[in-house]
Amino acid sequence: MRRIDCPRCLKVKQEKLDWLADNPFYSKRFAFFVGRRCRVMTIKDVAQETHLDWKTVKEFDKQYMREQLRRIGTPAPKVIGIDEISIRKGHTYRIVVSDLLRRRPIWFGGKDRSEQSMDEFFKWLGPKKSKQIRLAVMDMWKAFRNSTLKAEHAPQAAILFDKFHVLRHLGKALDTVRKSEYARLTGKDRRFIKGQKYTLLSRRENLTTGGHRSLKMLLKINKRLNTAYVLKEAFGQLWDYQTEGWARRFFDNWRDSLKWQRLKPYEKFAEMIESHWDGIAAYCRPENKVALGFVEGVNNKIRVIQRRSYGLRDEEYLRLKILTCMLPQI
């Protein structure tokens, strides 16, 4: 490499070669090879394969992921999905925002899941691109909604509450009924309820032959659990309606069927749906038919990344892993 004397600063400058990696002892081509290996292997395994120090492998992986983000460009999302993830024990959260049309995470950050942390995303995105957001999919966490609808952020965006978070609340209500029935019964009558939590919470078509048998016996023996299970299965039809009017009629009928059933957890769930109805009915509009399962799929990918590494202490490395987990390799 050539070295020259700079007449301005009177220092010796060295020629920069485009094909060199950040570490000048290796080429970019080799660094990107290591980065591709790190997409499917742990740093330790790649280090053993390439006979490199694991710190060198990690830096190559970071360079590879930064190049992926540079090539993909700055996002301008129209439909976003918002969720939080736990990065360590002790309720330490970070917010993940995804572009649901391009199906990739675009932002990871914040200090917790507060409104102030959510404001950081819109500050990063900028007011011009924030005004282009037409739909925001999220759980029923108030801080996310308040931040999104601020006048300087995206007040024009429709709020849609994630179907999977809503059904999770319904599953908790069903499990509360199961626990109360277990506590009410004594002796041999308990044996039909014990250990059947996931049999009740799973969809019928996902059960094994043994699960079908256990569920049939349980619902035949216990009338209250039978009623709660039928109501849980029926509620899923809410997202099949094409107009808000028919969806509202279905929910009113479903809520009326709770009368005289003595299912207090279900009544609390119905009150919660009533207070958040606008964010649920928004799915009935044709322009809001988006893949609601993508946000949960990203969360599962993040958990796999964390589990494979036995936890990540370097938060910047975790951020790069999350933002590139859906990008094509280079």
3-state helix, strand, coil in the chain (%, to 5): 55, 10, 30
Judge if 45 and 98 occupy the same domain. no
Domain of residue 120, CATH code: 3.30.420.10
Q: What is the pLDDT of residue 122?
A: 95
The helix/strand/coil state of 26 is coil
Judge if 171 and 238 occupy the same domain. yes
Judge if 104 and 249 occupy the same domain. no
Q: What is the pLDDT of residue 318?
A: 92
Judge if 212 and 263 occupy the same domain. yes
Residue 158 to residue 281: CA distance in whole angstroms: 11
3-state helix/strand/coil string of 234-295: HHHHHHHCCCHHHHHHHHHHHHHCCCCCCCHHHHHHHHHHHHCHHHHHHHHCHHHCCCCHHH
Q: Please say whether the dihedral angle defined by the alpha carbons of residues 78, 81, 82 and 88, taken in this order, is positive or negative.
A: negative
The two tokens of residue 191 are 């044996």
Q: What is the pLDDT of residue 29?
A: 94
Judge if 89 and 142 occupy the same domain. yes
End-to-end CA distance of the chain: 27
Judge if 176 and 227 occupy the same domain. yes
Q: What is the pLDDT of residue 209?
A: 87
Per-residue model confidence as pLDDT tens for the chain (330 residues): 788 898 899 899 888 888 888 888 899 999 999 999 999 899 999 999 999 999 999 999 999 999 999 999 889 999 999 999 988 877 889 999 999 999 999 999 999 999 999 999 999 999 999 999 999 999 999 999 999 999 999 999 999 998 889 999 999 999 999 898 888 888 777 877 888 888 888 888 888 888 888 888 888 888 888 999 999 999 989 999 989 999 999 999 999 999 888 899 999 999 999 999 999 999 988 888 888 888 888 888 988 888 887 777 889 999 999 999 999 998
Please name the residues in contact with 63: beta carbons below 8 A apart, sequence gap of 6 or more: 21, 22, 28, 31, 35
Judge if 296 and 158 occupy the same domain. yes
* Boundary of a domain, candidates 57, 72, 87: 72
Judge if 99 and 244 occupy the same domain. no
Domain-embedded: residue 152? yes
Q: What is the dihedral of CA 60, 61, 62, 66, to 10 degrees?
A: 100
Domain extent for 253: 164-286
Judge if 192 and 275 occupy the same domain. yes
Residue 288 to residue 137: CA distance in whole angstroms: 10
Residue 5 to residue 213: CA distance in whole angstroms: 83
The two tokens of residue 51 are 């006979």
Judge if 92 and 49 occupy the same domain. no
Contact of 96 with 302, CB cutoff 8 Å: yes
Judge if 174 and 282 occupy the same domain. yes
Residue 107 to residue 97: CA distance in whole angstroms: 5
Q: What is the pLDDT of residue 171?
A: 93
Residue 171 to residue 97: CA distance in whole angstroms: 25
Contact of 242 with 230, CB cutoff 8 Å: no
Domain-embedded: residue 325? no
Contact of 288 with 163, CB cutoff 8 Å: no
Q: Letter for the amino acid at 112?
A: D
Judge if 274 and 203 occupy the same domain. yes
Buried b (16+ CB within 10 A) or exposed e, 29-63: eebbbbbebbbebebeebbeeeebeeebbbbbbbb
Domain-embedded: residue 124? yes
Please name the residues in contact with 41: beta carbons below 8 A apart, sequence gap of 6 or more: 49
Domain-embedded: residue 202? yes
Each as own residue / partner, the long-range contacts of residues 286-290 (CB below 8 Å, 24 or more positions apart, any chain) are: 286/242, 287/134, 287/135, 288/135, 288/158, 288/160, 290/79, 290/100, 290/101, 290/135, 290/137, 290/160
Number of domains within the chain? 3
Please name the residues in contact with 236: beta carbons below 8 A apart, sequence gap of 6 or more: 167
Structure letter (DSSP) for residue 329: P
